[in-house]
Structure 1
Amino acid sequence: MVRTEPNAADRHLIRILARNGLQLSPYQLERWRTVGLIPRLGPHTLLRIGDSKVHPPATAVLVAGLATCAPLCRTQDDLALLAFFNEVPVPPDAVRAALAEVYFPQHAEAREQEYVHLQRIPADHRGEHGPEYDWAEAAAAPDTAEYKAAVRQMRDNLRRRRDLATASRAELDGRVRGVLIWLNMPALPVHDSEFMADLRAAMAFSGSPENSRAAWLLAAVCHSQQLAKGSETCAQERRETLLAVTDEELGALREQVRESMDAMWFMATEGRSRHFRIESSGDARQAGRMLAEWTTARHAFPSGSRPAQVLVDSLCSLWYLCSTDTVGEGRAAFEHRTRPPHRAP
């Protein structure tokens, strides 16, 4: 229930939206003002027309956009992001707050999952190949569980190799796991001919695209981090970086994220669709997390880099590496580094 009756300006706004088929209640307006999605009432937020005061056109456009998106959202943060990514002029402070709310809990949860997987490595093997390897192994475990289509494609592609045609599921899964571990390392072991043969087969760049697109996407995202300038950040630094983004930058970052999502969607649909429509709160959260991540990650790439181009460059780099035969340490050394004996499955 609202604390007071809606004023004349609010009643006028509600009538305008109703004529356009949008339902809006005084309670919604009050809630949106409280969380900063629309301006608070004041002498500078209303227009005087004759003896009446009404909301300016900019506020009417904002409220109409929020009312359009609201039925698709459960929380005010979801509403702020869905409206923002659909060009509704949401106040920048509300957008920054929503980005922080959807990004940092998920980021902390992901790090916690990696820590859990790290602790599952037997103590006598932990650190055997260095802390970077352990963390890469911990990061590969949730990748295996989350990106099942990519894992399945890598496994099927490996089986197409003549010497793996009759390999067991366990062996193929082990090779996929090795590929994912090294994709999560700071750099690929390009001089390890046995590993590169596995990577080349798993990616199957020379094969039918529909057999590998999911694998390409996952590998390109991981490999892009290997092409970046390495640096350590903490949650506090990431939060400060996000909250320091200017209003102008926020709009530019939105376009870069949408461009990146279009590129990934184009690849995922095998070229059938060029534009990804952000039409749900889940889509908006995904886009919001990408934007929040890019505010920090962009500093690891040359100035002016865009995430879509980073993805394409990463995929091209993988294609080049997989098109070049290399000579390295061999299968025995690779197995020693990627599947230590007695390691828990």
Structure 2
Amino acid sequence: MPRSAPTGAYRELMDLTAADGNPVSVAQLERWRRSGLLPAPDRLFLGRAGTSTSYPQEVKDLARALARRHRPGRRLDDTVLLAFFCDSAQIPEIPMKLALVRTYFPYRQHHRDKVARIADAVPDDPGSGQDTFYDWAEAEAVLDVKEGGTAIRKMRANLRRLPDLARASREEVDERLVGVLTHLNSPRLPEEDLVIMRDLEAAIDLDSDDFSLARLAVLEYVATTHAGQMGRFEETNSEERFDTLWDTPPDELHRLRDEVVTAMQETWRRATGGRRDGPAIDTVSMARSAACALAEWTTARQVHPEGSSFADIHFTDSLLDLARATAPAWLLNRADRQRAAMPPVDEAGEGRAAFIARTTGATGRRRRTR
């Protein structure tokens, strides 16, 4: 049976979205309404003229944001996340939290399963003296190096700037990189171990004048990872994380969202030396990444001082603390690189016979000098 022509509130929303160049159908509006994104319209009684329906301005703005991010075949959760992070849309509480939950927890569980498989494949070594946290951190590091990515490739290249790794094999470099990432994923950095800290300083290369996407990826990786080492160490589980996220008031989630977006944009600005504005979170992958960061932060912020900002903790504070922790290692690495760059010197000198041979030639006559 064909649908009747839309009237009232739906007609108004369709006209608005079409004017933006993002037309939507009645069927799409009904799907948004069934999912809780759109409320029932306000009904106005017009006396003998009957009734009419209309939406308040905030609902019209929401519909325009959803239409802007909607694509055929795109998951509704992804549309919600894009509107939430890119357009600062006022998403209703339940659909907003469902989109965060359905994005974050499957990703978290999938990642933990992969790490667990790597950890389980390592034979137990009772004499190693390591604990389960170290084992898990090492499995995280192995997985990161295995999956690669821009940050891993850049850190691998950075490590090769160490004189003893300049001609090392890929396997040797990766072994050292796994050591670096293991300690970054552990509850605390081993600041007293200069060997590890020198590798860490070389891998992240904080004082580099390179402004590239690769450096941005490294800064994002190490800042986010080290941020977890700066708070109180507490264990948690999925149930506790779910409860914390679900119990967070909507206005608080909107504020935390702004912190996450600011952090992502600030990382980009600093990594490019201020020459590029922060990116809009206008791709599905970026929106999902932001959603996972927000879901993590609702729990992680509890182990940091009250009032801590995600943007500060996950970039400025974290990188400043890494710079402090790696300062002695930076001095030693810098000295090693300077020595390696110097031309070789014959410490014993050339000797009298060599000097005579060089200055007289084969005939034994002293060369004439002017």
Residue 46 (1) aligns with residue 37 (2): no
Aligned with residue 253 of structure 1, among 247, 251, 256: 256
> How many angstroms apart in 1 are the aligned matches of 2:59 and 2:291?
24
Q: In the alignment, which residue of structure 2 is the partner of 1:142?
A: 143
Identify the residue that residue 99 of structure 2 maps to in structure 1.
98
Q: What's the offset of the Cα at 1:145?
A: 3.4
**Alignment of structure 1 residues 217-232 onto 2, 5 Å:** 217-232=220-235
Matched, 1:296 2:299: yes
**Per-residue Cα deviation, 1:217-239 (whole angstroms, up to 9, x for no partner):** 32222111111111111111111
Letter in 1 for 2:80: A
The number of aligned residues is 323
Q: Which moved more, 1:207-216 or 1:144-153?
A: 207-216
- 2:272 matched residue in structure 1: 269
Using the size of structure 1 for normalisation, the TM-score is 0.85
Q: Which residue in the other structure is 1:123 paired with?
A: 124
Task: State the match for 2:70 in structure 1.
Answer: 70
Give the letter for the 1:11 counterpart: R
> Which 10-residue stretch deviates more, 144-153 or 86-95?
144-153
- Residue 99 of structure 1, CA deviation: 0.6
* 2:37 counterpart residue number: 37
Per-residue deviation, 1:270: 4.1
Residues 104 and 283 of structure 1: CA distance in aligned 2, closer, same or farther (over 3 Å): same
Distance 1:242 1:87 in 2: 19
* 2:215/2:271 contact within 8 Å kept: no
Q: How far apart, in 2, do the equivalents of 1:126 and 1:97 lie? A: 46
Residues 78, 285 of structure 1: 8 Å contact kept = yes
Partner of residue 323, structure 1: 327
- Paired with 1:278 and 1:180, the residues of 2 have a C-alpha distance of 27
Q: Is the 8 A contact 2:115 2:143 kept in 1?
A: yes
By how many angstroms is 1:73 displaced?
A: 6.7
Partner residue, 1:333: none
Larger RCO of the pair (alpha carbons < 8 Å, separation 6+): 1
In structure 2, distance between residues paired with 1:229 and 1:271: 33
The 1:230/1:73 distance shift into structure 2, 3 A limit, reads farther
- The one-letter code sitting in structure 1 at the alignment partner of 2:288 is R
Distance of 1:205 and 1:288 partners within structure 2? 27
Deviations 1:82-101 (A, max 9, x none): 11121222212211111111
Q: In structure 2, do the counterparts of structure 1 residues 27 and 213 end up closer, same or farther at CA, with 3 Å as the change threshold?
A: closer
Among the aligned pairs, what percent are the same residue?
37
In 1, distance between residues paired with 2:147 and 2:173?
18
Q: Which residue in the other structure is 2:18 paired with?
A: 18
**Conserved? CA contact 2:259–2:311, under 8 Å:** yes
SS of the residue corresponding to residue 38 of structure 2 reads: coil
The amino acid across from 1:23 in the alignment is: P
CA distance in 1, matches of 2:217, 2:22: 39
Distance 2:68 2:127 in 1: 52
Distance of 1:8 and 1:207 partners within structure 2: 60
Give the gaps of 5 or more residues in structure 1: 327-345
Deviates more, 1:242-251 or 1:62-71: 62-71
Write the distance in 2 (CA, Å) between the matches of 1:49 and 1:140.
67
Q: 1:169 to 1:13 in 2, by over 3 A?
A: closer
- 8 Å contact kept, 1:72–1:281: no
Deviation of 1:127 after TM superposition, in Å, equals 6.7
TM-aligned CA deviation for residue 26 of structure 1 = 1.1
Indicate the residue corresponding to 1:234 in structure 2.
237
TM-score calculated relative to the size of structure 2: 0.80
Any idea what SS the aligned residue of 1:209 has? coil
